Structure 1
Amino acid sequence: MQYTRPLVCFFTFFFGILSSHAQTFELGIGGGGAGYMGDLNQNQPLKISGISAGGYVKVNLDPYWAVGLHYNYGKIRGNDADSENKQFKDRNLNFQTALNEFSLQLDFNFLNYFAGGGTKRFTPYIFTGIGGVFYNPKAIYNDKEYKLRYYQTEGQSEAYKTYAMSIPYGVGIKVHLKERWGLFSQIGYRTAYTDYLDDVSGRYPNPNVWENDAYFADRKFLSDPSITQYGDPGVQRGDFRKRDTYMFVGIGISYTFVSQKCYTF
């Protein structure tokens, strides 16, 4: 509940702006790749592990500022078996999850750019905002898929949530093609307010917490499928960073609706 109030306020603000600037709103779609930084990928911020696609409706306040409501879909994954680090290979964890993200984003164009007017045909830009992401990590072992949150692999007293607040930020470039059409390309990272995009966060649990559980064998195996031996209780399982990060990169096309010649100089 602590995450919903700021989102509601931002979305209410957006629709208020949309109603007062309806003559300059913009639609866009795009696609590309998705990646993630976390316990199974600790030092490769540009690693692409899946596809991404999305769209937005945006209000151009003037040639420099725009605010938009965005939806992005992506797939991310990580697999210790593919790592060059021997410790990670021995740990032998893997995960994959789809990401469904809704966000409110603010753009700033560095040049006087607007697909329905303006004085420049291209501009670099930056963006940030606030949003929420839905996820549900899964693992595959011996051709069987497991929904990891239900197995509480770090001995949690209850399953973690499958949604979290996220903070998007990134850079890109926009190019005016013709008339009201535009082309854009961007790379954007998201700080997720969860450490469980990959189901890995802290330490190996004591397996005794599952001793009387019907799924004891599965819980123990999914917690530690290592090639060597079971991780001792309290031994580091993740990287101890409090939040995972995910990334979308790609290219797209936009169309701007203009009921009058706005922002033309």
Structure 2
Amino acid sequence: MKRYHYLAASALAGLLFISSLSDSQAQRRPNTRFLPYSSVSFGVGSSHYYGDLAGYRQFLRATYIMPRWNVGLGYTRQFTPHFAARASFTWARIAGDDYTFNKGRIERSNENLVQYARNLHFRNDLKEFAISGIYNFVADGRNSSVRAKLSPYLFGGIALVAHSPEARTPVAPDNGSYEAQKWVKLQPLHTEGQGQPGYEKPYSLVTVAIPVGVGLRYKLNQDFDLGFEIGYRYTFSDYLDDVGGPYASPDALTGVASIMADRRQQRFAARKKDAPDRYAILESLYQAGGQSQQDVVNALNNPVRGSSSNILGFLKDGYLLTSFQIHYIIPGKIKCPPIK
């Protein structure tokens, strides 16, 4: 946790340095002084997850298969005609499901059979606090009143992300309900044996992310801007989805943990309330005999739970956010009422 605090403090110090530098430059050029201004923003949009349950190798499919939502607030300070800095808070939900991601592909071929047989799913509510630098391609005028009408921009920064993945308990073998088929938090269950002798320590529920992206801001009137933004977050965690390594030994898990950690033998896909029968496809392939039968056996006995399913090999879990925003330009001078 301390290193995350150091990173955030360093980023904030950098923003203060940029602010003081821009002010000193403006004071040396009084005739062309840019008057910095601030704005606050509110945005809503979509969230898209990439990781073990929606691999980078199938980026387009991962983007559209299970989108979720995000809402955010931001404070932006425009220091120069081109450069600004922003502090923002975003609450975003991401989700993934082996059954949903692979059902159609398995019906057409045996592609992704191992992932389909794995039968994992999750959802995760992310709380992201980010500090970003912004470069506007179109320069603003000397104050907020004459800011650019249409301004595309790039942004990049650093963020702290709090998260806690969850999954739904499975349907019982008699088609009844297991603990009312509720959502449970996965990190305390140590589904890959974390914390047990011979296993890694439990993963942190706070991680660092690197947000990068592009946006477009449109001046609606003197007081308001409209904007659209799309940005990717590279995180330093492989456990936004609670999946990162091999299956733990059954001896390392007890109770609910053993049921949530290895779901290959569960007949129903539990994320959906109607709990579809996922075994129907596997049984059809098995009964076909030959290589199809062997593929099913191999998939159900595969020791790999989490794997590097991305192109570059080093990417961990990540997510992409889109956001439609409205910005309120804070007036440069606010007159205070006289004290009587």
Q: Aligning the two structures, in what range does the TM-score lie when normalised by the shorter sequence? A: 0.7 to 0.9
Matching residue within 196, 208, 230 for 2:239: 196
What is residue 153 of structure 1 aligned with on the other side? 191
Note the alpha carbon deviations across 1:145-185, whole angstroms, 9 max, x for none.
22111111111124221110111001111111111311110
Tell me if 1:102 matches 2:126: no
Q: Which runs of 5+ in 1 are unaligned?
A: 211-215, 261-265
Matching residue within 323, 329, 333 for 1:250: 323
**CA displacement at 1:15 relative to structure 2:** 5.5
Matching residue within 44, 67, 79 for 1:61: 79
**CA displacement at 1:239 relative to structure 2:** 2.4
TM-score, normalized by length of structure 1?
0.86
2:265 and 2:252 mapped to 1: Cα distance? 22
Q: Is the 8 A contact 1:204 1:232 kept in 2?
A: no
1:91 and 1:112 mapped to 2: Cα distance? 52
What is residue 163 of structure 1 aligned with on the other side? 206
Q: Which runs of 5+ in 2 are unaligned?
A: 24-34, 103-111, 172-180, 196-200, 267-296, 309-313, 334-340
Q: Is the 8 A contact 2:228 2:325 kept in 1?
A: yes
**SS of structure 2 residue aligned to 1:178:** coil
1:118 and 1:67 mapped to 2: Cα distance? 19
Partner AA of 1:220 in structure 2? S
**CA displacement at 1:104 relative to structure 2:** 0.3
What is residue 208 of structure 1 aligned with on the other side? 251
Tell me if 1:39 matches 2:39: no
Q: Is the 8 A contact 1:206 1:232 kept in 2?
A: no
Partner AA of 2:63 in structure 1? L
What is residue 10 of structure 1 aligned with on the other side? 11
Q: Which has the larger radius of gyration?
A: 2
**SS of structure 1 residue aligned to 2:63:** coil
Partner AA of 2:81 in structure 1? P
Pair 154,243 (structure 1): closer, same or farther in 2 beyond 3 Å: same
**CA displacement at 1:62 relative to structure 2:** 1.6
Task: Determine which structure has the larger strand proportion and give its number.
Answer: 1
Partner AA of 2:49 in structure 1? Y
Moved beyond 3 Å, runs of 4+ = 12-23, 117-120, 227-233
Equivalent runs, 1:14-93 vs 2, <5 Å? 14=15, 24-42=37-55, 43-44=58-59, 46-47=63-64, 49-84=67-102, 85-93=112-120
1:236 and 1:171 mapped to 2: Cα distance? 36
Equivalent runs, 1:226-265 vs 2, <5 Å? 226-227=264-265, 235-240=303-308, 241=314, 243-259=316-332
Greater alpha carbon shift after TM alignment, 21-30 vs 114-123: 114-123
Q: Is the 8 A contact 2:19 2:79 kept in 1?
A: no
Greater alpha carbon shift after TM alignment, 246-255 vs 106-115: 106-115
Paired residues in the alignment total: 254
What is residue 229 of structure 2 aligned with on the other side? 186
What is residue 213 of structure 1 aligned with on the other side? none
Q: Is the 8 A contact 2:36 2:78 kept in 1?
A: no
**CA displacement at 1:23 relative to structure 2:** 5.2
What is residue 108 of structure 2 aligned with on the other side? none
Q: Is the 8 A contact 1:63 1:118 kept in 2?
A: no
What is residue 281 of structure 2 aligned with on the other side? none
Greater alpha carbon shift after TM alignment, 101-110 vs 148-157: 148-157
**CA displacement at 1:13 relative to structure 2:** 4.1
Q: Is the 8 A contact 1:153 1:223 kept in 2?
A: yes
Task: Determine which structure has the larger helix proportion and give its number.
Answer: 2
Greater alpha carbon shift after TM alignment, 185-194 vs 224-233: 224-233
Tell me if 1:111 matches 2:132: no
Q: Is the 8 A contact 1:18 1:25 kept in 2?
A: no
Q: Is the 8 A contact 1:113 1:122 kept in 2?
A: no
**SS of structure 2 residue aligned to 1:68:** strand
What is residue 263 of structure 1 aligned with on the other side? none
**CA displacement at 1:54 relative to structure 2:** 0.4
What is residue 132 of structure 1 aligned with on the other side? 160
Partner AA of 1:11 in structure 2? L
Q: CA RMSD in A?
A: 2.5
